[in-house]
Every structure is written in C-alpha cells, then in structure tokens.
Amino acid sequence: MPVKNGSQYVERINSSLPDVRIAGERLTGAISEHQAFKGVMATQAAMYDMQHDERWQASLCYSSPLSSEPVGLSFLQPKTKRDLAARRKMMQVWAEAHHGFLGRAPDYMNTAVMAFAAAARLLEEDNPQFAENLQHYYEYCRENDITLSHVFIQPKAARFPPSLARLIEEPAAARVTDKNKDGIVVCGAFLMDTQGVTSDEIFVYPAPFFSESSQDSPYAFAFAVPSRHPGVRFVCRESFVGGDSAYNYPLSSRYDEMDTLVIFDHALIPWNRVFICGNESMLSRLFDGSHFHTHAGMQIMCKNIAKTEFVLGTLEMLIETSGLQGYGQIVEKVTEVIVALETLKALQLAAEKGAALDRWGSMLPDRKPLLAANVYFPQIYPRLVEIVQLIGASSLIMIPDEKDFDTDLDDSLNLYLKGIGLNGKANVQLSRLAWDLSVSAFGGRQTVYERFFFGNVHTVSSRLYNGYEHGRELLMKRVQHFLS
C-alpha cells in the first residue's frame, strides 16, 4: 500500500492491542483515547496526513521502486547529493511540524532501517538468510509505511561485567534461551523504548555484551517484531501530560513521547524476522558499517535546528511582551541562542556539501560535522533552557489556570497579568508555553533526553575523537613540519 494517512495510523495502533502497563494497570480500550498517548498520536497523525496533502506530498514522498506508489522519502537510500538534499528537506518539513520535540518521529527509524538494509551484504558472511531477511524487512517497512520504535540499551543490571554477573542468580541481560525450527526464544528487558506503544513494530538491536566468547553468544542478536507480538510487554513511565488543555500544557499535551521498559518473556521470534543471532562481532560491524550514526545524524540535525528555532521564537515573544529589547544582558543571552542556531545550520550544510559515496552506493554525508553536532547540542541545549528560565523569571511561576479566566476574576487577571500587546489571558498562555519548555516535567525530560540522545558525554566525545583521526594526524604533521 502507499503512504498512510493519519486516520490509518491511528486505526493501526488502536487495533494492535499490545500488552501495555501504565500506572499499575493494564491499558484497555483505544490507545488514542488515553491521555498519555492521544496528544502525540494526534501530532503524528497530522504528520502522516501531510503525505497526502498536495502542498507537501512532493516533498515528503517518492515513487516506490517496487510498486511505483508514493512511499515515505525518509526511506530513500540517497545515491546522489540531490537525493540527500531531498531527504533533508523532507525531514525539515516534519521537524518544523513538531518543532523538534519528537525525538523519535517516524523518519528517525525509517532512516535507521534504510541504513542497516543498505549494508545488509555484511550479514552474508554470517548467514545469507539474515542478509535477505533485513533487506526484505526494509522493503516491508517502506511499502507499508510502518511506524517503528527501537531499543538498543538494556537496564543497568544487565550491563554488569562477567565478574559481577556471576554473583547474580538470575542473569538480567536479554538473551536467546532457545532455538528451534520456528525461530529464537528471547528473554530479558530493554530501555528506553520511546514511542513503543504508539508504533506498529519494534526493532531490537542490543549493544555488544560482555561476552567471554563471540561465537554463538546468547547475548548477540537483532530482530524486529510487531508491538503486539506474544510475550512482549511495555511498562510505561509516569505520563508527563499535565492535562488535555493546550492552553495549560501547550507542549506536553501534543508532544510527550512515552518511554517504556520492554520485557520479552519467552518471546518466540520467527526466523524471517531475525537479522543477527550469535555473532557478537557482527553487532558492531553492522552498526559501524551501515554508518547508522551518520545517516541518523542528518535527521537529528533537522530536529535540533527546528527545536532551537522554537526556543528563539519563544524568547523573542517573552522579550517583546515584557519590553526587554533594550537591555544589554538580555540581548547577550539571546545572541547565545542565535549562535547555537547558526552553528547547527553551518554543520548541517558542511555535512551535506562534504558528502561522498560509500561502499554500499549511498551518498553519505560528511560525518565529522555531524559528530561535532552530536557533542555540541547536548551541551548547549541545557543552556538554552536556562536562558528561557532567566528571561522568563517570575512569569514562569505565576501562571494561573485557564479556568481562572472563566471566573469573576477575569477582568482583574487581564489587567494585572497583561503584557505589551497581550491581555492577561494571552500573556499567561505565553508564560505557560515557556514554563512547559523549561520548568515542567515535560521540559525536564526533554533536557535529560537531549543530554543522552546519542549516548553519554564520554561516548559521543570518543565517537568524534576517533572519527576525526585522519584530520588530527594531518594537523599534527603540519605542526611537526613547522617545528622542523
């Protein structure tokens, strides 16, 4: 089928009926009706509707090489710089639709599964069937516009080294407990599956484990299954949706992506959905060889630019309605945001301009600017949030409820809480936006999420340092030549 629309997305998720636990209860009824999920589902439904809107379809879709039907452009393996630019424009359109607040918008995993499938020939060394499985799965996702979530990380208890793991009676690491003619049996848990409940399928790819042998390791596997798959259970964190009111909770009511712990309880994974099994070295080789971080980095860059633009727009409104334009310390703070925005745009441009074909025939962006951005944005985003707090000040605290303006205090509130060009109700609405961005539970989760988006500071720094090896060597030789 061609690209789906919003109602088809909602209908698919509602009909899937996965095993979801939230606030101590098992979720029953339509997922799209539950307060924790309906906002983000409505947002993504609107994004899928854009694929059928004549204003956007040419920017969001391309013709399937199998059916000639329109399919999502984020599934496209870019083979030219023109393809790369088209993918970037598509991702910008969706990023601006959610203003960068969806860390796991559908185009993220569309890009990931494309990258893995492009490098599927690597798997032929291990098992030709696994390579074929991955390529077929990519085509299945593309042709059916599958919404994917993913898990890479296991709970801390699962990451103990072997010397400590032996002290634990029941191993916590996810593992293959059996193999039979039908598939592999998997037990264990993963975090964090962002949007697992609001996606069609889940792509499971654990990081390499502390195995004593890479030969037939029970901890080495990769596969994908529907979210409703038997033996799969989702345990949700507390919802950060404050309420249904878009006035009171302008961001969380639209963009709160639920994070879940995913438990595999003797889940039987069919062989045709298995991509790696037992070969631990292949986990690293496919991850690195597919250039996952580079391809996904372009999608992330679009998200981060849109998010920074939204922060800047919010700050400008706060400044204008408070009459703070002439204050030097205010201007100084806002220029930090402008510098961040222009830095991200420059890194994006450099990555695209420096693109070159890789061994799989993909037009691969220059990874160095993207790796630099992966280090830079987690560092700068908490500062952007702090600037919102510093400029918003007391207006982030004195935020009456929308219902207060429907009482006999309406005239007083509009008088005493007004801003320049805004009555009290409109000014409080702006303050509530800044609060949801920088103070609320939703805003706090966004800040922590950005800090660890592509790994902790050591991981992303090491990735950049090691990825810059050639450049470092050239510069060192230049200095050595100078000294000689």
Residues 117-172 pLDDT 10s: 999 999 998 899 999 999 999 999 999 999 999 999 888 766 666 555 555 556 67
Q: What is the DSSP annotation of 413-461?
A: HHHHT-BTTB-HHHHHHHHHHHHHHHTSHHHHHHHHHHHTTTS-HHHHH
Cα separation, 272 vs 336, in Å, equals 50
Is 335 assigned a ligand-binding role in the annotation? Answer: no
Under DSSP, the state recorded for 249 is -
User: What is the spatial distance between Cα 290 and Cα 367, in angstroms, rounded to a whole number?
Assistant: 13
Residues 6 or more apart whose Cβ sits within 8 Å of residue 28: none
Q: What is the DSSP string of 82-147?
A: HHHHHHHHHHHHHHHHHTT--TT-HHHHHHHHHHHHHTGGGGGGT-HHHHHHHHHHHHHHHHHT--
Quote the pLDDT of residue 207.
Answer: 80
The tokens for 229 are 């798959």
Assess whether pLDDT exceeds 60 at residue 212. no
The pLDDT value given to residue 276: 97
- Prior bond of 114 cis (ω within 30°): no
Which pLDDT value is given to residue 459? 87
Mean pLDDT, range 410-438, rounded to an integer:
97
Instruction: Supply 166's token pair.
Output: 């032996």
pLDDT at 301: 98
For 84-102, the pLDDT digits (tens) are: 999 999 999 999 999 999 9
Diameter over CA atoms, the chain: 83
Percentage above 90 pLDDT, the chain:
88
> What are 230-277's pLDDT values in tens digits?
999 999 999 999 999 999 999 999 999 999 999 999 999 999 999 999
- Domains of the chain are 6-289 (2.40.110.10), 291-483 (1.20.140.10)
Provide the pLDDT for residue 469: 87
pLDDT tens digits for 300-338?
Answer: 999 999 999 999 999 999 999 999 998 999 999 999 999
Strand extents, DSSP E, 121-273: 148-151, 175-180, 183-194, 201-204, 221-226, 232-236, 259-270
pLDDT at 84: 97
Can you give the pLDDT at residue 165?
A: 54
- The whole-chain average pLDDT of the chain stands at 94
CA dihedral of 105, 107, 113, 115, whole degrees rounded to 10: -130
